[in-house]
A and B are shown apart, each in its own frame.
Chain A
Amino acid sequence: MIRRPFRWAVALPVALALAGLSGCGSSQPASSPASAAGGEATTVTVFAAASLTGTFTELGKAFETAHPGTSVKFNFGSSATLAQQITQGAPADVFAAASPATMKTVTDASLASAPTTFVRNKLQIAVPADNPAKVAALKDLADPKVKVALCAEQVPCGAAAVKALGAAGLKVSPVTLEQDVKATVTKVELGEVDAALVYKTDVIAGAGKVKGIDFPEADKAINDYPIAVLSKSPAADPAKQFVDLVLSQQGKDVLTRAGFEAP
């Protein structure tokens, strides 16, 4: 009589563990078909920095409309992780990185050459919509009563924050060094911190819950975004066309609307 529920107690976690297993590691897209010939659908696989999620998805749709029969698949993530996936042989046709350093990982491995800078991103102070700590300028972040979140120095937005604070000669004691810019913005949106240094594009994406404040030292820490077609790409031609679209006026319009600046 007590056997039946007991079996459940064992089977449930096992089933859950299996479910968890299949849920992980789904960030890698299926590989692009090798050839564009024979009327088969061609796929361009684009590895792009997480901060490009909104704009590139929009550009991808525009590209598919303009090139029937070609589909664009994205793998968005931290630039450093993407660069590592590419050097480990992940099937990608285009790489758009959030920093020259991560692109360099790929060009150093001779997997891409001559990347082009297509946009730049500037830091802003992000505060919750009601700005509870009354932050108005960068120097307010040095106040020990103000809870500040920064990106970890290992990720591009953290490196930029260190540069900007250094340029201003300020010492800030953050309560947390977040793993990426989205996590940092989330902490502001939820009101867990009073201020954070994030990209202007992220502030615009979080409009309503987050307010952005410009500061002059942001000009000292501008982030360049390079893009390149990968040399091992099996779909080099459509990949090049996608990069051309990003660099075109249409691409510029989409990107500047999201808060990016032209290089």
Chain B
Amino acid sequence: MTSTTPAPARSPGRGAPRAGRLPWVLVVPALLGLVFLVLPLAGLLLRAPWATLPQRLAEPQVLEALRLSLVTATVATAVCLLLGVPLAWLLARASFPGLRVVRALVTVPLVLPPVVGGVALLLVLGRRGLVGQWLEAAFGVTLPFTTAGVVVAEAFVAMPFLVISVEGALRAADMRFEEAAATLGASRWTVFRRVTLPLVMPGVVAGAVLCWARALGEFGATITFAGNFPGRTQTMPLAVYLALETEPEAAIVLSLVLLAVSVIILASLRDRWVNSP
């Protein structure tokens, strides 16, 4: 799941020496898996209303939803990085009673159906929620039905992806570097900043990419917690869902836009960060 080890360097020019043929026990399921993942995408492409595509794309609501999706997913990823990396560090490096329980709790948003996650957020951060009513009384802030609410819902659902990635990278990292830095007098914070973080950067980037992708596609928690209003809380997945009610063709177009944009962004990031030597 995490690409914590650097990709093997490709041998330039001549073909690499082969250690026998590719084993079919791996190749057949690999191809089946690829087909399984790609076929639904092919279905979307085949059924897309190509003739009306340009005029559908020009609709202001589409761009509005796309912009909102990209902004909220990015802010949510930033929030996850800010809170998730330290959390992963705590899980990987600290030892305290109940560590196993805490680690299991971190994955709760993964197991929870997103709609239930949204209801849970409402019960805590809603206008009558445990924290929410206090937030409103003290600061006049209500999160539901706001763009900030979208970010909260997305971060809640996406954070475990980042935490698990980074924790895996931290556990796989060679701790002797950290120990060496510590013996040379570096404080724990300096060790984290100058040694640990650069060491696990590929894991952090991979986790952030997963986290961003999950936030971008988030539907259930967002529509439950933040509601649906164009320009404020209607992200692309919400627009797709509602378009499906009346205009399946519009839903296909919206899905394709979301897919195309995310694939382009992820592919360019990957070239720049993940595979760079």
Contacts and interface: CB of A to CB of B under 8 A. Distances in A.
B128 interface: yes
Contacts of B127: 191-192
A5 interface: yes
Which of B111, B161, B233, B242 is the most central at the interface, judged by chain A CB atoms within 10 Å of its CB?
Answer: B242
B1 A13 contact: yes
B126 A192 contact: yes
A13 B161 contact: yes
Interface in A164-181: 174-179
B144 A6 contact: no
B145 interface: yes
B224 interface: yes
Which of A13, A147, A149 is the most central at the interface, judged by chain B CB atoms within 10 Å of its CB?
Answer: A13
Interface string A184-202: 0011001110000000000
A14 interface: yes
Interface string A106-138: 000000000000000000000000000000000
A201 B122 CA distance: 24
Contacts of B226: 176
Contacts, number: 92
A190 B164 contact: no
Interface string A136-155: 00000000000101001011
A23 interface: yes
A2 B172 contact: yes
Contacts of B223: 178-179, 183
B192 interface: no
B111 A16 contact: yes
A16 B109 CA distance: 11
Interface stretch (A31-39, A66-74, A76-84, A255-263): A76-84
B243 A152 contact: no
Given A81-B245, A152-B242, A175-B227, A19 B111 contact: yes
A191 B126 contact: yes
A152 B229 CA distance: 9
A182 B226 CA distance: 16
B113 interface: yes
A174 B223 CA distance: 15
Contacts of B1: 10, 13-14
A178 B243 contact: no
Interface in B253-275: none
A16 B107 contact: yes
Nearest to B175: A2
Nearest to A177: B228
A23 B226 CA distance: 24
B248 interface: yes
B227 A149 contact: yes
A176 B126 contact: no
Given A2-B171, A13-B1, A81-B245, A179 B228 contact: yes
28 contacts: A2-B171, A6-B168, A9-B164, A9-B168, A10-B1, A10-B2, A13-B110, A13-B164, A14-B1, A19-B111, A80-B245, A81-B244, A84-B248, A155-B245, A175-B227, A176-B229, A177-B227, A177-B234, A177-B242, A178-B227, A178-B228, A179-B242, A186-B119, A186-B224, A191-B127, A192-B126, A192-B128, A192-B145
